[in-house]
Amino acid sequence: MRPKQRRRPGASVSTSQTLADLPTGQRCIIDRLELPDDLARRLMELGFLPGNEVIPGKRAPGGGPRVFRVDGSEVALRDATAAKLFVRRDPESDFVVLS
């Protein structure tokens, strides 16, 4: 039998959503990165650390990379990479209008 996991107040129940799943402006918190060590390390250097807030922005024309606001910077990621960054979000969090 697995021990019951404790949930932090305000944390979402599901952690199966990824950055690629979220609509533009939806605040979220990074839960985990499921990437090769070298790529995960590089993203963490850019601010994609578990516990940090990320806000998805607009997508490049033609379905190119998408911009994410993290740790005071804007970083573009491909969908394949964003799909490997799992997030949690507070259902009561507000959307942010990104310009």
Q: Rounded mean pLDDT of the chain?
A: 82
Output the pLDDT for position 71.
87
For the chain, domain boundaries: 17-88
Tell if the pTM clears 0.85, that is, is over it: no
Output the pLDDT for position 93.
65
Top-confidence residue, 12 or 48:
48
Top-confidence residue, 67 or 13:
67
Burial 63-87 (b: 16+ CB within 10 A, else e): eeebbbbbeeeebebeeebbebbbb
Burial 24-40 (b: 16+ CB within 10 A, else e): eebbbbbbebebeeeeb
Top-confidence residue, 56 or 2:
56
Residues 14-26 have pLDDT tens digits of 448 999 999 999 9
Top-confidence residue, 43 or 98:
43
What fold is seen in the domain 17-88?
A: SH3 type barrels. (2.30.30)
